[in-house]
Each structure stands twice: as C-alpha cells, then as structure tokens.
Structure 1
C-alpha cells in the first residue's frame, strides 16, 4: 500500500490548491500539520500570475492506495 499526505489550501482567488507529500511520516498530529501548512501560507513564497497559490489553510488528509497486480509480463521472454 502507498500512503500520501494531501495538504489542501485556498488560493488568493478562492480556488483549491493542493500539495501532495509522498512518503510522509505516519500519525502526524493535526497541530503539527496545521502549523507546517501555516508556515507555507505565511512565507508567501508561491504565486502564479501575481496570485498567491497557498493563501489559506483548508485541511489535510492521508490517502492510502493499494495496487493488486493481475499479472506481470516478463519483458525478457519476448
């Protein structure tokens, strides 16, 4: 199974913006994640066409995906 952490923000225009963190620490507290996200907002270091991409903290979620192989071809055999 693969697990990622998705950090959700609002842009200065009110649109949704997201950062996906691969291989996050497990069991992060809401306070830790919210504090880190607020630092991103406060830094105001990311913008596109003069619009802040990460202007407001919205939330964060762990997403877990599982891949079940049906079959795998052996490329050397072909």
Structure 2
C-alpha cells in the first residue's frame, strides 16, 4: 500500500483496471436473405460482451467481434 499526502502530489491520475475480461464477444449482422439478425461470436465463456452496433455482413461482424475480444 502506498500513502501520499496532498503536499507530495502536484498532479495525479487513477485508473481502476479490475473490470472483468470478456470471455466472448457477440456482434450482430442483418441477413438480408432470411430477413433477420444473425449473431457472430468470438471467444467462448462468460462474461459475454455484446457490441451494440449492427454490421452489414458476416465478415464485418466477425472481424469486429474478434477485434473487440483482443481489445478487452
């Protein structure tokens, strides 16, 4: 543990990186042939992170899910 007093600090920043890492990421694209949304998943397990944006095709959705999994 590190204790600082205001006299010892001129500027500071705190970042809490205790967020859970995603086990899997889900991205959705619209299948125009079936007329319904389809999910693409990268990774496996819990917790599941869902990308809010809808993608134009399967390749874009899969690439976005994989990129977000790497970022997390």
Query: TM-score if structure 2 supplies the norm length?
Result: 0.32
The structure, 1 or 2, with the larger RCO (C-alpha pairs under 8 Å, 6+ apart) is: 1
Higher strand share: 1
**Which is higher, the Rg of structure 1 or of structure 2?**
2
Query: TM-score if structure 1 supplies the norm length?
Result: 0.30
